[in-house]
Structure 1
């Protein structure tokens, strides 16, 4: 199939490259000329395992990029994969997606025959019908459902595993309100995934509103599961109980399941915080008080501060050099959105600490824009050298290999938020939830 993808961020770029890997001819459309140039040169514009190889393999062949929306005229369907950032009140800002839809609509005015527009961006129930479809109709002069179709196809890709998540999905959600032509195109598009010998993907055919809500429900439920195990693990810590043994046991219950039971410094990223805040804001707009969702966020935001509290049980941080290891919100990405390190840095600076930080990716460059007073170094050893304490915020594998580096600390106190560092003689080790 011929596919166009509007928006070349984390989602759009990975979707475009993976669709090309499945054998489709894909054109990525973005207003950023630098991103377009990098994709056409076979370079990945984002840090994501497995993505650079696919872009390098398919660029100039089944994958190309352009700033010209007219490229979608030669395609069968268009994915809209643009950001929906949070406002200060937690609600989502739809302006970028609306602008993208207007560009798509204006181009569709020249399109002959049926064309499917697929909303890959995360939008709340009702927004597609009430805000996006009217923009498409006005800009194109055509009628939705007759001259073009609109579907919601949410993504369930985690940063750091986005490629594998796309290529091995557990479900494919097609929100169409029963549009037979849209369903046919989506089934043909994803058929290579469904037909894999070891395929596990279940196809869920549903409505536009339901398709939108499934995305939010999925992420918020996982966020709640993580905050629940963190709350349980915090109590375990107070009673001297190893929460990881508890998690392993309750994960054997098929009603609970083992994934997302790893307690620690909390969840972050671009999806969980944004989607949880958006659903809380949406609930309040309907005058519903989302008590449980509020608690989910409260528990999550408390975890990094607890780490600083534990550190102060062993050493006074005021005026002292304190190392923060890990700035990306999770391994295998340089994304600092929702990073738990931010709250830890803020708590340390509020208590007068001199923060020195390290991350193995460009996350340090991103963090420096927001926290300029932090000293950023090029290795974990440099961060630990002369430090009076250390917080381990991200479970990068290289942190598990740290050993002699701790000997260079002025006061070898390590508070581990990810259970990645081994207890050893010569350091005071404190686990966040164990």
Structure 2
């Protein structure tokens, strides 16, 4: 099938590459010429395991192309995926300007029937706005709006495992209109996703608004579990309980399960923060407060400061003349995404108290330098007393303590003898509970986890 992907960011690239992998002819559009230049020269502007190889394979096979040509992109695909950004607005709502702009471009250039798919994460009612924008452009050209049908097909991709999630989905959600055009669109989407349903049916068909709400509801539920466990971990610290034992105790209940029950330094990234905020904003627009989600947001913001509070409790408020090694910058492992990353808050707060920070991350340092205003040589341009090194062990040299922020696998089993030799004090503040407190005590390491107790 001929498919167009509008937006070659995280969702667009993964969707385009994976659909091409199934034999479809995919045209990826982006209005950023630098991004398209990178893609056409064999590069990939984001880090995602397996994505670069998949893109290279399908470009070589002629199934995947990248361009800034809007007219060509509309002409190419019978199915047009809108996968542009929906950044949070100042009031917390999703900014739909790029979604509506993409819809208008489709309406300005289409000459044959199209299925328009909202792949971007969008609030309930967005499909109506997309339909209205396309219909308005078609009317200007004297064409019927019956030429198109808008479908909601939200993505459920975990950064760091997005390719695997797309190729082996646990569910595919498709929302269509209940009219002849909607039924035709449903059949085309069924055909497109047929290769992903070969062993068992994974697709859930529903109305458009229900599909739109499903995406937000899923992310809000996961964010709620994270904030809930962070609250319990903070309580465990106060009462002398071990949150790991609690996690195992409640996770073994089949009604609860173990997923997203790991306490830490708070969630970040491009999805949970903005989706929780946008869902809460949608409710307020309809005269209702989602009190649980408001609490989830508040807890998450507080949690980003927990490690700093532990450091301050141990060393005092004045951290001048102290140096901290920091392992992990990205908001989660297997990505270079720094959006809403807890590391940004932790670094800023340590520096504010006079400390020096030497950081390492396996893939996110370049992106972190942009976020923290650090130049290409690793020198702090805007945020003073921050540097980055290519080797995690080098970050420890002469530091007063190690602070762990992201749970990269490479950090799980370090050479603790070398850690002890390099640190001036044998202290670890573990924001992801990678290590066992008793094992650290036996090694002579002063260990501060999140809700951990010997």
The alignment's C-alpha RMSD in Å is 1.8
Q: Which residue of 1 aligns with 2:449?
A: 431
Q: Does 1:321 align with 2:345?
A: no
1:241-390 matches, within 5 Å, as 241-316=241-316, 318-319=319-320, 320-361=322-363, 362-369=366-373, 372-373=383-384, 374-390=386-402
Which residue among 180, 186, 200 is the counterpart of 1:183? 186
For 1:56 and 1:202, how far apart are their aligned partners in 2?
28
Alignment of 1:216-235 (within 5 A): 216-235=216-235
Say which is worse superposed, 423-432 or 260-269, in terms of deviation: 423-432
Distance 1:347 1:285 in 2: 35
Instruction: State the alpha-carbon separation in 1 of the partners of residues 346 and 245 from structure 2.
Output: 26
Of residues 102, 121, 132, the one that matches 1:134 is 132
Tell me whether 1:418 sits opposite 2:432 in the alignment. yes
Q: Tell me, what secondary structure is at the counterpart of 2:304?
A: helix
Q: Which residue of 2 is the match for residue 154 of structure 1?
A: 154
Task: State the Cα distance separating 1:20 from its structure 2 match.
Answer: 0.7
Structure 2 portions without partners, runs of 5+? 375-381
Q: Is the 8 A contact 1:173 1:211 kept in 2?
A: yes
TM-score, normalised with respect to structure 1: 0.93
How many residue pairs match? The answer is: 426
Shift of 1:397: 1.4
> 2:243, 2:299 → 1: CA distance?
16
- The whole-number CA distance in structure 2 between the counterparts of 1:344 and 1:281 is 28
Shift of 1:308: 1.3
Q: Post-superposition shift, 1:431?
A: 0.7
Q: Is the 8 A contact 1:301 1:343 kept in 2?
A: no
Query: Retained in 1: the 8 A contact 2:27–2:76?
Result: no
Deviation at 1:421, TM superposition (A): 4.0
Alpha-carbon displacement from aligned partner over 1:246-269 (angstroms, at most 9, x marks no partner): 212222222112211111112111
What's the CA shift string for 1:115-174, capped at 9, x where partnerless?
Answer: 101010111111220x22111112233444x21111110000011011111111111111
- Provide the TM-score with structure 2 as the length reference: 0.89
SS in 2 for 1:117: strand
Measured after TM superposition, the shift of residue 318 of structure 1 is 1.5
Q: Give the Cα–Cα distance (whole angstroms) in 2 for the partners of residues 23 and 245 of structure 1.
A: 47
1:120 and 2:119 matched: yes
Structure 2 counterparts to residues 41-56 of structure 1, below 5 A: 41-56=41-56
Distance in 2, matches of 1:411 and 1:315, equals: 12
1:41 and 1:59 in contact (8 A); partners too: no
- Tell me the SS of whatever aligns to 1:338: coil
Structure 1 residues 162-241: aligned runs within 5 Å? 162-178=162-178, 179-195=182-198, 197=199, 199=200, 202-241=202-241
| CA positional deviation for 1:44 | 2.2
Deviates more, 1:238-247 or 1:161-170: 238-247
Q: Distance in 2 between matches of 1:104 and 1:406?
A: 60
Distance 1:100 1:76 in 2: 15
User: C-alpha distance in 2, partners of 1:285/1:12?
Assistant: 29
Contact 1:358 1:364 in 2 (8 A): no
Instruction: Output the CA distance in 1 between the equivalents of 2:176 and 2:144.
Output: 15
> What do residues 309-332 of structure 1 show as CA deviations (whole Å, max 9, x unaligned)?
112232245111122221100010
* Cα pair distance change 1:406/1:104, threshold 3 Å: farther
Listed as ranges, the matches of 1:45-84 within 5 Å are: 45-60=45-60, 61-69=62-70, 70-84=72-86
- Consecutive unaligned residues of structure 1, counting only runs of 5 or more, are none
Equivalent pair of 1:325/1:357 in contact (CA under 8 Å): yes
